Copies of this chain bind each other. A is one copy, B any other.
Amino acid sequence: MVKTNLDNGMNVWRTPEKLALVTGVDNVGKPHIITVGWIMRVSFSPPIFAVAINNSRYLHQCINETNEFNIAIPGAPLAEAVLGCGERNPQREDRFAKYGLKTGKGEYVKSPIITNAEANFECMVIGSIPAGDHTVFLGKVMETWVSEKPDQNLMIVGDQAGYQVLMEKSPYKLGIIKD
């Protein structure tokens, strides 16, 4: 065990990184979407997810204002959308149309669900905490949706043989676990 810099340590930990498409609406009801890698379950009962959103993202402002969001779990068909929605969107163009993301109406939140994703979790914000350049939002799961034929979830993968790489755009490799 030797001291090292953080990047070397993170190399052991970084992959696989599960991904989500997080949607929200701004204060005039316009929907927005970004790709998020820093997301996890944090409570069994009630069921709560934590998601870390960059403070400089417009979606951060949306969630702050509306106290809700939707988590969509992308599968293989959404690889291009996941890469695209990971980039900044200063013009706030309609990325739902651009990337073939089909939206539906949730039961509890105004944030759209993604009907061609593998699953959706509608969340109401029950707390948040600043964390450096991000904010951690806690979202209580209000409703769960799954595809009639859910497939594997997409993730950032490494170089091992057990992954099936689906799309690559440096520095990211998107893929699934080989079936």
Q: Which residues of A contact B (CB under 8 A)?
A: 1-6, 8-13, 16, 18, 38-48, 50, 52, 73, 104, 107, 113, 115, 117-121, 126-134, 136, 138, 140-141, 143-148, 150, 152-153, 155, 158, 160-164, 177-179
* Contact assessment for A42 and B1 in the assembled complex, using a CB-CB cutoff below 8 Å: no
Give the docked Cα–Cα distance between A113 and B135 (Å).
28
Q: Which residues of B contact A115 (CB under 8 A)?
A: 1
Q: A12-B146, A120-B1, A158-B177 are in contact. Are A129 and B132 (CB under 8 A)?
A: no
**A12/B163 contact (C-beta < 8 A), A48-B131, A132-B45 known:** no
A164–B161 CA distance with the chains assembled, in angstroms: 11
Number of copies: 2
* CB pair B136 A42 closer than 8 Å: yes
Q: List 21 A-B contacts (CB under 8 A).
A: A1-B117, A2-B148, A3-B143, A6-B47, A9-B120, A9-B121, A12-B118, A13-B18, A38-B41, A41-B52, A45-B133, A50-B50, A50-B131, A129-B138, A136-B138, A158-B177, A160-B178, A161-B179, A162-B177, A162-B178, A163-B177
Q: Is the CB of A144 within 8 A of B177?
A: no
Bound Cα distance from A39 to B12, whole angstroms? 14
Shortest Cβ distance from A21 into chain B, in angstroms? 13
Main secondary structure of the interface of A (DSSP, over half): strand
Q: Which residues of B contact A160 (CB under 8 A)?
A: 152, 162, 177-179
> What residue of chain B has the Cβ atom nearest to residue A127's Cβ?
B129
* Distance between A122 CB and nearest chain B CB, rounded to angstroms: 10
